[in-house]
């Protein structure tokens, strides 16, 4: 799959690479929990529980491979449209993840970040997220970024409002708003450029995820349902990434 349309100012080839052929920043749209459960005549919550296990596996695999940043699409701003019972189950799994995994993140020197309007979640979840972020803030190793109540269009709109306020307040001239200014107002502003975006379950769309950041990312759509995604699947996607030629509009 070729990259999406490029911004006016494209990054240099190789900018996103850490070790040779290894993407620095990988994002995953974790899709297929419900289909995994349905195929086994199980309730959807069983698929979500197995999806949490996949998060554990893949986060460790990303660290072992040498990926600096792993961004996971955990709950979109559109997911509120799902039945209230399922949303409640997902929030319960998030609580368990935060309760059970933060100590491991600290031991493994992983920094946790959350993007999206997570403060719209329940007060107890917001406190747990804030605590987890603070507890892992001094870690110097890989970063695990969780997108919660996240939507890329809302993120870009928020960046536009931020820049508009700066113009209104006189701290910025309107003609200084360029691609770099917008990137500097996004939730991912302190992260390396997105190199590889993976979607599981065979679907081939971005579903309002990292739309700006994906402008020059390589895209990989795999048939594996998220609960079955493992280190071998991730390594396969990374190996395919390493074989691609990233020209960023050049020759």
Annotated binding-site positions for substrate: 32-36, 44, 48, 76-78, 80, 82, 199, 205-207
Is 104 annotated as catalytic?
no
Burial class (CB in 10 A: 0-12, 13-18, 19+), 216: buried
For residues 210 and 150, the answer to whether their CB atoms sit within 8 Å is no
- To the query of whether residue 109 is one of the catalytic residues in this protein, the response is no
Q: Report the binding-site residues.
A: 31-36, 44, 48, 76-78, 80, 82, 199, 205-207, 218
Q: Which of 79, 117, 208, 240 is catalytic?
A: 79
Closest CA to 34 of 233, 226, 230: 226
Cβ burial 166-196 (10 Å sphere, 16+ → b, else e): beeeeebeeeebeeeebbebbbbeebbbbbb
- Residues within the annotated binding site for Mg(2+)? 31, 218
**Active-site amino acid positions:** 31, 79
């Amino acid at each position: 799959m070729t990259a999406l349309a490029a911004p006016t100012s494209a990054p240099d080839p190789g900018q996103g690479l850490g070790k040779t052929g290894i993407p620095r920043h990988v994002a995953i749209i974790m899709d297929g929990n419900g289909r995994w459960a349905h195929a086994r005549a199980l309730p959807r919550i069983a698929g979500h529980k197995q999806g949490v296990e996949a998060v554990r596996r893949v986060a460790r695999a990303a660290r072992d491979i040498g990926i600096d940043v792993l961004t996971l699409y955990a709950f979109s701003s559109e997911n509120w449209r799902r039945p209230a019972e399922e949303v409640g189950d997902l929030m319960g799994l998030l609580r368990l993840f935060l309760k059970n995994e933060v100590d491991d993140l600290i031991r493994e020197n992983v920094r946790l970040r959350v993007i999206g309007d997570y403060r719209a979640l329940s007060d107890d979840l917001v406190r747990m997220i804030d605590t987890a972020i603070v507890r892992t803030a001094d870690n110097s190793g890989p970063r695990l970024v969780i997108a919660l109540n996240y939507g890329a269009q809302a993120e870009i709109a928020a960046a536009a409002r931020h820049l508009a306020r700066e113009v209104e307040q006189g701290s910025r001239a309107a003609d200084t708003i360029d691609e770099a200014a917008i990137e500097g107002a996004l939730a991912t502003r302190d992260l390396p450029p997105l190199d590889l975006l993976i979607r599981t379950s065979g679907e081939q769309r971005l579903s309002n995820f990292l739309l700006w950041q994906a402008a020059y990312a390589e895209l990989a759509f795999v048939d594996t349902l998220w609960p079955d995604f493992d280190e071998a699947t991730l390594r396969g996607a990374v190996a395919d990434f390493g074989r691609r030629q990233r020209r960023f509009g050049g020759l």
